[in-house]
């Protein structure tokens, strides 16, 4: 039953570009892209319960790496894996330091923020990687360079990414690692007493999460054709990444996706609406209010809430 619904939904999404306008397609690209990032974050922040407010760093590293490699003639199709690997490397470092030294909760958040900010500052100040101006990618429109003239290509790639991340999360949920992670989120010491190597599990979650996020960096770079240190390493992006799974439902499979479907159009609409009047940042106020509301009233997120509603409706 569930599989049928899922297949149906995917079929619909596949068919959409045939009927949508150019602008709508752009919105969907964003929805999928952020859902992908949300899902990647979810693996560490949702399932394992280790909140990270510095995930933008992985996007930045992934993007910058493939952009710089592209300048030297390496195709981004290869570059993206190198970028993701480097991002995973940073993730491993942060994870090692954080978990080895027993940093939990707030302290871990600070650690991630510190690293992300350091990356941003370095990127802004080192001329070799573009400095404060950032990097620009020469437009060739060549698919071999991960560039497409038709936005629908980006649509399908973004959709594929989202499905990939969701697939990884789904796989994780059923296997031992995923089950361990949900328990680690509840009580680490009790897990240790039951024979779970919590350090290894958390490291795995961290590396997978940062690798996937790193891949997104390349997509971002070659869709926007530019990388600004503030935009791609900064806290605002980290907030965008973490807010969707939190509002949608951290630690659930569809929560991040739902979160993106709710928030991304909302953000776009308010950017359009308020941005015209010169009122920037309105959508962030909405984010903030939603975050507060969710924490107070729906701590598990929108998706579990909806699920319960549907169940009660069916009963």
- The answer to whether residue 269 forms part of the interface with another protein (CB under 8 A) is no
- Number of residues in the chain: 315
State which of residues 118, 133, 160, 269 lies at the interface with another protein (CB under 8 A): 118
Residue with tokens 């929560």: 255
> Given the complex with another protein, which of 73 and 195 has the nearer CB atom?
195
Residue 315 near another protein by CB under 8 A:
no
Choose, by CB under 8 A, the member of 9, 15, 171, 295 that binds another protein. Answer: 295
Contacting another protein (CB under 8 A), which of 189, 311, 312, 313?
189
Phi-psi bin for 104: left (phi > 0), alpha (psi -120 to 50), beta? Answer: beta
Say if residues 38 and 245 touch (Cβ distance below 8 Å).
yes
Distance of closest approach, residue 26 Cβ to another protein, in angstroms: 24
Longest dimension (CA), the chain: 63
For 34, 184, 236, 242, 275, the CA distances from 281, given in Å and listed in that order, are: 18, 36, 11, 17, 8
Q: Which is nearer to another protein, 14 or 97 (CB)?
A: 97
* Packed helices 151-174 and 198-224: angle between N→C axes, nearest 10 degrees: 170
Give how far Cα 305 sits from Cα of 127, 267, 297, 298, Å.
Answer: 49, 22, 10, 7
Among 10, 15, 285, 310, binds another protein (CB under 8 A): 285
Stretch that binds another protein, among 14-22, 134-142, 185-193, 209-217 (CB under 8 A): 185-193
How is 171-194 classified by DSSP, letter by letter? HHHHSHHHHHHHHHHH-HHHHHHT
Work out whether 114 is an interface residue with another protein (CB under 8 A). yes
Per CB under 8 A, the list member of 235, 262, 266, 298 interacting with another protein is 235
- Give the residues lining the site for another protein (CB under 8 A): 49, 51, 53, 97, 101, 103-107, 109-111, 113-115, 117-118, 121-122, 124-125, 174-176, 179-180, 182-183, 186-187, 189-199, 235, 239, 246, 274, 278-282, 284-285, 287-292, 294-296, 299
């Amino acid at each position: 039953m569930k599989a049928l619904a899922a297949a149906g939904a995917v079929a619909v999404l596949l068919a959409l570009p045939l009927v949508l306008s150019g602008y709508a397609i752009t919105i969907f690209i964003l929805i999928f892209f952020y859902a992908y990032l949300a899902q990647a974050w979810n693996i560490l922040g949702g399932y394992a319960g280790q909140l990270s407010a510095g995930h933008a760093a992985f996007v930045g590293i992934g993007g910058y790496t493939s952009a710089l490699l592209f300048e030297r003639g390496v195709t981004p199709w290869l570059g993206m894996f190198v970028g993701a690997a480097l991002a995973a490397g940073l993730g491993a470092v942060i994870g090692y330091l954080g978990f080895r030294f027993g940093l939990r909760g707030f302290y871990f958040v600070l650690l991630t923020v510190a690293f992300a900010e350091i990356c941003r500052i370095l990127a802004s100040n080192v001329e070799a990687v573009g400095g404060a101006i950032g990097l620009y990618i020469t437009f060739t429109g060549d698919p071999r360079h991960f560039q497409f003239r038709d936005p629908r290509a980006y649509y399908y790639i973004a959709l594929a990414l989202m499905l990939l991340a969701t697939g990884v999360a789904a796989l994780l949920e059923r296997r031992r690692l995923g089950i361990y992670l949900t328990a680690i989120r509840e009580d680490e010491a009790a897990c240790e007493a039951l024979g779970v190597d919590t350090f290894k599990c958390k490291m795995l979650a961290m590396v997978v999460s940062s690798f996937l996020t790193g891949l997104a960096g390349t997509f971002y770079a070659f869709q926007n054709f530019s990388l600004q240190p503030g935009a791609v390493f900064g806290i605002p992006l980290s907030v965008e990444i973490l807010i969707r799974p939190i509002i949608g439902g951290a630690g659930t499979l569809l929560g991040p996706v739902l979160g993106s479907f709710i928030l991304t159009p909302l953000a776009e609409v308010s950017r359009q609406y308020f941005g015209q009047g010169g009122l920037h940042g309105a959508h962030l106020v909405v984010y903030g209010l939603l975050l507060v509301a969710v924490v107070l009233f729906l701590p598990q997120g929108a998706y579990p809430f909806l699920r319960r509603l549907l169940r009660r409706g069916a009963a």
